[in-house]
Amino acid sequence: MSFVPDETLLERCRDGDSAAWEALVRRHRRLVWSVLLKHRLREEEREDIFQQVFAALVEHLDGVRDGKALPAWLATTARRLCWRAAQRARSARESALGVGAPEDDVAGIDPVDTREGREVVETATERQLVREGLERLGGKCRELLEALFGGSMQGASGEPNYALIAERLGIRVGSIGPTRARCLEKLARVLGTLGFGAGGDARPSAGTAEARPLEES
């Protein structure tokens, strides 16, 4: 199946296509979760915020029209929701302990404008580019690279088990080397096109999307 860009999926969602929505959620689930993992949250809080991020996207479907900005939008929204949750938890703790104004020292700070915040969002969006690159590669190339790098088909020595990989993929052992070379070259080109490693210069930031990610209130 050919790769369907985020922009197209967003457009289909705006037309009420729930299958396109499912594809978007599946594609970006790890991106959102990776941001949530950077924050000390209870598992159920994390799952709640995961929901909230996608619920926010449903609400802002008309505003998020630039598909290329979607990963940054999701990561930024996730980051801000985590920040809010952490603040609420801290506020509750400090109120219980009778400690002064809980939000004084963080008032006015945008969690994405901190160095750590930028790193979290940039790392998450860069990794999403790799996933998108692999998705665009598709077919045997994707399967082969994931088998070689994923570690799920290793021999006892920790090296890839080429015989097993060849059998699973239905190719000859002797063709793994040339295929790997072709696929890596192709992936390098795809990643270059996507702006991977360009420090976000090649892709719009979340702030350039028509709808800004959920703002800190």
Partner 1 sequence: MQSEPSSSSRLPSSEDLAAVAFGDAAQDVARRVDEAAKRDPAIAAVLRGMRVAAEAVRTECTAASELEPPMDAVGRAIALGARVAARRQRAFGAVASIGSALDTAGAAIASWLGLGPARGDGADAETAALAGFRDDRGADAVAGTVGALTLRAERIEAEDGSERVVGEVARAGGTGGAGGAMRGTVAALGAGQTVLARAELDHFGMFTLAVPAGTAQLALVDRAGEVVLVIEWPARGGR
The total of other beta-carbon atoms located within 10 Å of residue 84's CB is: 16
Which residues between 36 and 65 bind partner 1 (CB under 8 A)?
36-37, 43, 47, 50-51, 54-55, 58, 61
Please give the Cα distance from 29 to 10 (Å, whole number): 15
Determine which residue in the list 176, 206, 209, 214 makes contact with partner 1, applying CB under 8 A.
176
**CA Rg, the chain, in Å?**
21
Chain position carrying tokens 């795809």: 190
15 binds partner 1 (CB under 8 A): yes
Give the total of residues touching partner 1 (CB under 8 A): 57
User: Could you tell me the two tokens for 86?
Assistant: 């952490």
Within 65-124, the residues that bind partner 1 by CB under 8 A are: none
Q: Which stretch binds partner 1 (CB under 8 A): 31-39, 74-82, 86-94, 108-116?
A: 31-39
Q: Which residue has the tokens 């505003």?
A: 63
On whether the CB atoms of residues 210 and 66 are closer than 8 A, the answer is yes
Give the whole-angstrom CA distance, residue 126 versus residue 152. Answer: 23
When asked if residue 198 is in the footprint of partner 1 (CB under 8 A), the reply is no
User: Which tokens is 3 given?
Assistant: 């790769």
Rounded to a whole number of angstroms, the minimum distance from the CB of residue 91 to partner 1 is 25
Which residues are at the interface with partner 1 (CB under 8 A)?
13-22, 25-26, 29-30, 32-34, 36-37, 43, 47, 50-51, 54-55, 58, 61, 126-127, 130-131, 133-134, 145-146, 148-151, 159-160, 162, 176-178, 180-182, 184-185, 187-189, 191-192, 196-197
